[in-house]
Amino acid sequence: MAAGEEALTSGEPMHIDSITLREVRMRLLHPFETSFGITEDRRIVIVEVRDGATTGYGEVTAAEGPFYSHETPETAWHVLSDFVIPRTVGRDFRCAADFASVVDGIRGHNMAKAGVETALWDLEAHQAGVPLWKLLGGQREEIDCGVSIGIQSSVDQLLEKIQTEVDAGYRRIKMKIKPGRDVEDVAAVRDAFPDMLLMADANSAYSLDDFELLKKLDGYDLMMIEQPLHWEDIVDHAALGRAIRTPICLDESIHSADDARKAIQVGACRIVNLKLGRVGGHRSARAVHDICRERGVPVWCGGMLESGIGRAHNVAMSSLDNFTLPGDVSASKRYWEEDLIVPEVEVAPDGRIGMPTGSGIGFRPRVDFIDAITHRHRLFAP
């Protein structure tokens, strides 16, 4: 039985009276650079599902361009409006986990689907009167937090940025790398922070032709190198994994529990990054988590520059017991002048986030603020 299926089976089903899509636009406090490019402004699709007086919120985590994924806010709006929501609104759901069977015939577009699916989980948890993390089967009452550092204009700026995050208590640093900004940057960071948990994220920027360069990273005691090769590949990752000492973590290659099973089976990774949007929501994320746990492969929560709504869902997901490595679940104030939720997500001085105690995601959406920054919206009702 999938996570959460027992929660409402003995009660009233959820009847989806309406679904509202909103696209909000938010500027990051600081530009964020990866091997894909630089992000300054986020277009975020927020999904609101309603059953009577009870509302659940989800977020589409697609980036603005088709670089991390084929999905964008524009494609998500289209797929949600024309395919996903017409199959969902007006329907009764025994529990949020049943949503998968409604949209299984729609190929791909996991981030679009996850926007609705996560909102249904929030709704179900509110109706059950329990925190979402408990409904998901979470065991951790607090989680260790890491932080992702984009490519900086200079090594000095990179070291300064990392020092700020270390001083804030974060327990792991992930630094983005790309050709020309890799080994020397990693060496400088390791020299300045010899004992820090450090990982490098390549976002598919390399190939097996770069073997000798990637091999050099073995000298810097990295926790992992994330997705160094092609985003659809597991064969070359397996070959690389046999040749280097640094553990390989897969991100873009893993879209389902079956992907995780195959990647682990061929030796393509020793760690998996779990992102709710990439795998299609909480039900699929739990399935990936369980496959990895059964095979002794740890998982951690990756970030997609989410607003507080998506961040709150990440917090809940990270309470599952195989999230044994610090995730990219950092404080709202690192990204936004104002976030979409109250209270904002905060990280304690010891680098941890405690699980919320309220029902649902445990944070209240700032409806007036969301309305004020909405660039388009659409209401769907039967």
pLDDT tens per residue across all 382 residues of the chain: 344 444 433 357 899 999 999 999 999 999 888 888 889 999 999 999 999 999 999 999 999 999 999 999 999 999 999 999 999 999 999 999 999 999 999 999 999 999 999 999 999 999 999 999 999 999 999 999 999 999 999 999 999 999 999 999 998 999 999 999 999 999 999 999 999 999 999 999 999 999 999 999 999 999 999 999 999 999 999 999 999 999 999 999 999 999 999 999 999 999 999 999 999 999 999 999 999 999 999 999 999 999 999 999 999 999 999 999 999 998 999 999 999 999 999 999 999 999 999 999 999 999 999 999 999 999 999 9
Among residues 176, 178, 215, 262, the one annotated as catalytic is 176
CA nearest neighbour of 124 among 329, 313, 346, 367: 313
Q: If residue 54 lies in a helix (H) or strand (E), which one and from where to where?
A: strand 54-60
CA–CA separation, 16 vs 35, rounded Å? 40
**Helix, strand or coil for residue 22?**
strand
Inter-residue contact 378 to 18 (CB < 8 Å): no
Is the pTM higher than 0.85? The answer reads: yes
pLDDT of residue 5: 42
Neighbours of 357 (CB within 10 A): 10
pLDDT of residue 238: 97
Kind of pairing between the strands at 225-226 and 248-250: parallel
**Helix, strand or coil for residue 125?**
helix
pLDDT of residue 288: 98
Among residues 113, 134, 174, 275, the one annotated as catalytic is 275
Query: Cα 118 from chain centroid?
Result: 12
Tell me the backbone φ, ψ of residue 70, rounded to 5 degrees.
-70, -15
The β-bridge partners of 181 are 178
pLDDT of residue 9: 36
Q: If residue 14 lies in a helix (H) or strand (E), which one and from where to where?
A: strand 14-15
pLDDT of residue 11: 52
Indicate the DSSP class of residue 84: I
pLDDT of residue 36: 81
Q: Catalytic site residue 134? A: no
**Helix, strand or coil for residue 176?**
strand
